[in-house]
């Protein structure tokens, strides 16, 4: 392995490691700042363990390249094996490189399945109250657990005795060459792909059938479809090991680190997305408010309609606009939370015992309008922030600031 390629890979390992730490840190910051310490759940604890495993995997990849020069017990002819002195430096590098590959592959597999467990816990919370989802989650736990155990069994029993995985002479066979083992590489890739398909099948139908606006629905569909990108990296890893492994034994380390990084980022994306979305909405709201205050002085409060909006009975006429649903998704982490047999919606922020539509984390009464309106009474939405609505918006132009209910 050339010195330039070695240094480039070392920079890549620690670069993506730092980026992964940043993403995970943003995850915990988002959780703490939005819901407080009491909001921590099992997936947050699992993610902490996953970060430790990911760090250990990166160290193994670094050792494979920086210390053992990318060497292992493969890519040798029988003549080369017989001629290699057991006391030589190359023997030492190949033996230790093979041992490090064994440890790195176990860490790689453990990390991926820990991240799958994070997804399952998150989906269990996200789909709470949706019919049949508890059974789907239970099946997912069984599938993820069984496939992880099967991957470990393949890793430990593909080569018997186990110490042949770092044997140099005679050749131990492909199954006992951890850097290029076809059986282990293909099996882990297949199990990883199948479990990713199952995990994606949990939220996607729920999002598709939800009453979210298409813009929000598309964002969620893309975010929860990140497993396709992870599968692509897993397949690339498998192909590169099987085709280039005998030329460059460090291929396993290269692609394991890359796939692990992508998996860590995708798993944390649903947690950090609301924070960035909230920041963007605040920026847009500030710009709109500034433009409104500078361009139109005829603004009035939502609950202070002008006199010409009062009908003959003394009640305000219902305006032609409807309550927007552009709220910060993710605050309650529920796509749908409708209890069977009633219209009660529960969440971390309380419950409303009224017929509801569930839209991106906001519930609004069916046909009840704005509190204080002719059709609303006191059972509608309780506005917790002030809004400035211009006369132009009441004529149908829907000019709103940030909506937050």
Distances (CA, A) of 143 to 27, 116, 191, 249, 289: 27, 10, 10, 32, 51
**pLDDT, tens digit (0-9, with 9 covering 90-100), for 123-136:** 988 888 777 888 99
pLDDT of residue 280: 76
Query: Which helix or strand (DSSP H or E) is residue 353 part of?
Result: strand 350-353
Contact assessment for residue 354 and residue 381, using Cβ atoms and an 8 Å cutoff: no
What does the DSSP assignment read for 158-215?
SSSSGGGGG--SS---GGG-TTT-HHHHHHHHHHHHHHHHHHHTTHHHHHHHS---HH
Q: Using CA atoms, how far apart are residues 245 and 229, in angstroms rounded to an integer?
A: 23
225 vs 318, more confident: 225
Reduced to 3 states, what is the DSSP secondary structure of residue 84?
A: coil
Convert 11-39 to b/e letters by CB count within 10 Å (16 or more is b).
Answer: ebbeebbeebeebbeebbebbeebbeeee
**What's the whole-number mean pLDDT along residues 336-357?**
37
Instruction: Kindly report which listed range (33-37, 210-214, 296-300) carries the lowest average pLDDT score.
Output: 296-300
Q: Return the percentage of the chain with pLDDT > 90, whole number.
A: 42
248 vs 231, more confident: 231
Query: Which helix or strand (DSSP H or E) is residue 356 part of?
Result: strand 356-359
| Burial (Cβ within 10 Å: 0-12, 13-18, ≥19) of residue 250 | buried
Q: What angle do CA 190, 193, 197 make, to 5 degrees?
A: 140
Q: Which residues contact 63 (CB under 8 A, 6 or more apart)?
A: 100
Convert 355-376 to b/e letters by CB count within 10 Å (16 or more is b).
Answer: ebebbbbbbbbeebbbbbbeeb
State yes or no: pLDDT of 405 exceeds 50: no
192 vs 361, more confident: 192
Q: Using CA atoms, how far apart are residues 325 and 315, in angstroms rounded to an integer?
A: 26
Confidence of residue 294 (pLDDT cuts 50, 70, 90): low
Q: Which residues contact 189 (CB under 8 A, 6 or more apart)?
A: 234, 235, 237, 238
Which of these, 218, 211, 262, lies nearest to 236 by C-alpha position?
A: 262
Structure tokens at 39: 């909001």
Q: What angle do CA 199, 119, 122 make, to 5 degrees?
A: 120
State yes or no: pLDDT of 276 exceeds 70: yes
Q: Using CA atoms, how far apart are residues 232 and 353, in angstroms rounded to an integer?
A: 45
State yes or no: pLDDT of 340 exceeds 50: no
Structure tokens at 192: 């990883």
Mean pLDDT, the chain, whole residue set: 76
State yes or no: pLDDT of 369 exceeds 70: no
**What's the whole-number mean pLDDT along residues 145-151?**
97
State yes or no: pLDDT of 177 exceeds 90: yes
Instruction: Kindly report which listed range (91-95, 170-174, 393-397) carries the lowest average pLDDT score.
Output: 393-397
**What's the whole-number mean pLDDT along residues 135-149?**
95
State yes or no: pLDDT of 204 exceeds 70: yes
Instruction: Kindly report which listed range (30-34, 82-86, 201-205, 283-287) carries the lowest average pLDDT score.
Output: 283-287
Distances (CA, A) of 380 to 74, 144, 190, 374: 71, 44, 51, 11
State yes or no: pLDDT of 180 exceeds 60: yes
What residues pair up with 357 in beta bridges, in sequence order? 364
Q: Using CA atoms, how far apart are residues 119 and 47, in angstroms rounded to an integer?
A: 10
pLDDT of residue 292: 63
Contact assessment for residue 165 and residue 98, using Cβ atoms and an 8 Å cutoff: yes
Which of these, 379, 377, 374, lies nearest to 364 by C-alpha position?
A: 379
């Amino acid at each position: 392995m050339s010195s330039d390629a070695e240094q480039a890979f070392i920079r890549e390992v620690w670069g993506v490691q730092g980026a992964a730490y940043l993403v995970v840190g943003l995850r915990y910051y988002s959780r703490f700042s939005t819901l407080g310490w009491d909001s921590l759940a099992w997936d947050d604890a699992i993610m902490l363990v996953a970060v430790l495993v990911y760090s250990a995997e990166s160290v193994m990849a670094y050792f494979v390249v920086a210390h053992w020069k990318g060497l292992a017990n493969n890519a040798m002819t029988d003549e080369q094996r017989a001629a290699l002195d057991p006391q030589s430096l190359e023997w030492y590098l190949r033996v230790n490189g093979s041992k490090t590959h064994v440890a790195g592959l176990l860490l790689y597999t453990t990390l991926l399945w820990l991240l799958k467990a994070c997804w399952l816990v998150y989906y269990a919370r996200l789909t709470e109250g949706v019919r049949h989802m508890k059974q789907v989650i239970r099946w997912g736990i069984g599938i993820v657990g069984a496939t992880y155990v099967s991957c470990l069994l393949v890793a430990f029993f593909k080569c018997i005795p186990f110490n042949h995985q770092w044997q140099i002479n005679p050749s131990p066979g492909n199954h006992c060459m951890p850097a290029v083992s076809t059986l282990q590489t293909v099996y882990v890739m297949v199990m990883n792909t199948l479990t990713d398909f199952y995990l994606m099948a949990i939220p996607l139908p729920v999002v598709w059938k939800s009453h979210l606006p298409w813009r929000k629905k598309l964002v969620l569909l893309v975010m929860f479809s990140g497993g396709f990108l992870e599968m692509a990296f897993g397949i690339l890893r498998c192909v590169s090991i099987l085709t280039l492994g005998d030329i460059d034994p460090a291929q396993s380390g290269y692609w394991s680190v890359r796939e692990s990084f992508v998996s860590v980022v995708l798993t944390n994306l649903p947690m950090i997305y609301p924070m960035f979305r909230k920041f963007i909405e605040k920026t847009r709201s500030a710009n709109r408010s500034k433009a409104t205050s500078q361009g139109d002085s005829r603004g009035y409060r939502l609950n202070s309609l002008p006199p010409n909006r009062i009908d003959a009975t003394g009640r305000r006429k219902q305006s032609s606009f409807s309550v927007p649903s552009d709220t910060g998704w993710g605050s309650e982490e529920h796509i749908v939370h409708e209890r069977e047999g009633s219209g009660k919606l529960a969440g971390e922020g309380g419950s409303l015992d009224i017929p509801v539509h569930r839209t991106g984390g906001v519930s609004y009464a069916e046909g009840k309008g704005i509190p204080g309106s002719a059709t609303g009474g006191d059972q509608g939405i309780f506005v917790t922030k002030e809004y400035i609505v211009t006369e132009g918006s009441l004529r149908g132009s829907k000019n709103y600031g940030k909506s937050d209910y």
